Amino acid sequence: MPTPHCAGTSATATLVSRVRNVAFRPDSKPVEFRENAAHTYDDRCLSWRYDMRTVSIWTVHGRIRNVTFTGSERDLKTLVDHRQGESDLLSRDGKWFIIATCDVPEEPQCEPVDWIGVDRGINNLATTSDAANYSGRRLNRYRRWQAKKKAEIQAKNTRSAARLLKKRAKREARHAAHMNHTIAKDVVAVAQRTERGIALEELGGIRERVTVRRDQRATQSSWPFAQLGDYIAYKAQRVGVPVIEVDAHYTSQHCPLCGHTERANGPNRDFFSCRRCGLAGPADVVAGVNVRDRARSAWVFVNMPDPTG
């Protein structure tokens, strides 16, 4: 599975000026390099020296040698072992990056002994059927603080304010992505250690299906549930942990013990209490258990042999 790998470069000002210059071809208009565009290089134009941690880059004014790069030890090992194909050079916020394509082989998918159900939400970003809870309180508090600062900056209505808003938006997105990476890594590690698969709710189109109050629209639109699902899926794929999506309807209203489904089973957003058998507990944990139980049934149909084959 090709996966991108990033290594930061300590390119000099000479590299900046040369890459941004304009090259001319006979009988054609000038070729211009946009300031923030990525430039693609194959192995003829960009060569790697892993032992020295340097690259040699061909520019319109000739080749620049011994440009140093760096990265984490894990990423550098992946780069040495699995790099294939083209590399991209781009500039972001005054720093230069080389994005190298690495073809990392996947682990064979295991046959799960059971499943971990994962319920995704806003107040709790993820809750598993094992009762592991990843609260979204910290992220929501951070976003409210960012929204307050954005409103103050927007009131200035200047060009510098617009640039600052873009920087803050990127910072907020990186913060949410970091939290999703952490959650996904923990969930996949538990599934791999216990030889279980991961079951997620199928939440495609939920923003169109669910209506909320005006004061909750910004929270719902910024809910990073899709990103969390993507992170869990690709991390699980790399280590051979199966991932399955199941129907999300009524997971917070269905009793996993007696099967009774009723809206009144959830007297509030955080608590579940079955009106028939009396089963009670945190609503998100009950939803995770329902997701796990549906995955058990769905996996049987996924692996059922084709009767026409």
Highest mean pLDDT among 4-13, 185-194, 208-217: 185-194
| Listed range (183-192, 193-202, 206-215, 220-229) with the worst mean pLDDT | 206-215
- How far is it, in rounded angstroms, from Cα 12 to Cα 17? 9
Mean pLDDT of the chain: 83
Beta strand 83-92 pairing with 95-103: antiparallel
Least confident interval from 18-22, 81-85, 104-108 = 18-22
Domain boundary assignment for the chain: 2-103, 115-302
| Fold of the CATH domain 115-302 | Nucleotidyltransferase; domain 5 (3.30.420)
State residue 115's pLDDT score: 96
The whole-number pLDDT of residue 181 equals 94
Instruction: Tell me the percentage of the chain whose pLDDT exceeds 90.
Output: 46
